[in-house]
């Protein structure tokens, strides 16, 4: 009953007609009702995470989730032990949003040379950035889908976009072993766990795909490959 009530609540907030001011006021009233009750807070903060911050949720919405975290932090006492965890999540949500300059990082190529995201050359003002792990099942599925996409291969060959695939885990042998399976024309590198360790990007779901322009401004954040493909229209 509680879960259904929450779904009804956020559905109203996300219906496209609720002004931001009223949305924030509604979240303030909701949070004020549970912050002082340990069990209710545990259940409802987990429910908010499951519905608003899980990319597999039909209600996944980082904008509303970020607003909720801002409100929650405003209601919690300064001495609350969970403040740092909520603050960390809020900072993560605020990074690399559409219109922002993508956070720079260094990656290393198979020949040992290194380059930064900022200095990566981009063809036709479009860069598809993918964070991946070949041992991740969903990564493997998306990689197979992209490798089989003849339109993507032709777009890369014709210089209509560039693709940068970055391995974010620390097993160099695993990365090297999977290199022969990566599509021709892609730039492939490993960040030696810098992105994950520094929480530079939100990698809660893998693979994580971003569409950037030539100046590395974010056009699409953590988007499904189908959405990126539709946007590029190649």
Residue 75: count other Cβ atoms within 10 Å of its Cβ. Answer: 16
- Which pLDDT score is estimated for 234? 78
One domain, residues 207 and 183: yes
Whether residue 100 lies inside any domain: the answer is: no
**189 vs 102: CA distance, rounded Å:** 17
Name all contacts of 84-93 with Cβ < 8 Å and 24+ positions apart: 88/199, 89/53, 90/66, 91/199, 92/199, 92/202, 93/53, 93/62, 93/65, 93/66, 93/69, 93/202
One domain, residues 155 and 220: yes
Domain of 150, CATH number, reads 3.40.30.10
One domain, residues 66 and 145: no
Q: Where residue 11 falls among pLDDT bands split at 50, 70, 90? A: very high
The domain boundary residue, chosen from 40, 65, 94: 94
Whether residue 13 lies inside any domain: the answer is: yes
Whether residue 101 lies inside any domain: the answer is: no
pLDDT digits (tens, 9 = 90+) for 117-156: 999 999 999 999 999 999 999 999 999 999 999 999 999 9
**In the chain, what percentage of residues exceed pLDDT 70?**
100
Q: What is the domain count for the chain?
A: 2
Q: Do 72 and 45 meet the contact criterion of CB atoms below 8 Å apart?
A: yes
One domain, residues 115 and 77: no
pLDDT digits (tens, 9 = 90+) for 77-110: 999 999 999 999 999 999 999 999 999 999 999 9
Q: Which domain holds residue 59?
A: 2-94
One domain, residues 11 and 89: yes
CA distances from 74 to 35, 68, 113 (A): 11, 10, 46
The domain boundary residue, chosen from 68, 94, 120: 94
To the nearest 10°, the Cα dihedral for 209, 65, 215, 228? Answer: 30
């Amino acid at each position: 009953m509680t879960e259904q009530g929450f779904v009804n609540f956020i559905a109203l907030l996300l219906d496209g007609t609720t002004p931001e001011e009223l949305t924030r006021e509604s979240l303030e009233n909701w949070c004020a009702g549970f912050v002082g009750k340990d069990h209710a807070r545990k259940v409802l903060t987990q429910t908010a995470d499951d519905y608003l911050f899980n990319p597999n949720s039909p209600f996944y919405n980082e904008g509303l989730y970020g607003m909720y975290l801002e409100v929650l932090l405003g209601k919690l006492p300064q001495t609350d032990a969970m403040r740092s965890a909520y603050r960390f999540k809020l900072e993560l949500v605020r990074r690399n949003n559409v219109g922002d300059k993508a956070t720079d990082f260094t990656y290393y190529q198979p020949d040992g040379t290194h380059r930064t995201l900022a200095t990566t050359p981009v063809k036709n003002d479009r860069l598809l950035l993918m964070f991946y792990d070949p041992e991740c099942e969903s990564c493997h599925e998306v990689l197979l889908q992209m490798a089989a996409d003849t339109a993507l291969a032709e777009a890369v060959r014709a210089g209509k976009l560039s693709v940068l695939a970055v391995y974010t885990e620390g097993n160099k042998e695993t990365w090297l072993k999977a290199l022969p399976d990566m599509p021709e024309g892609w730039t492939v590198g490993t960040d030696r766990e810098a992105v994950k360790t520094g929480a530079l990007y939100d990698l809660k779901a893998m693979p994580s795909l971003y569409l950037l322009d030539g100046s590395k401004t974010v056009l699409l954040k953590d988007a499904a490959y189908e959405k990126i493909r539709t946007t590029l229209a190649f």
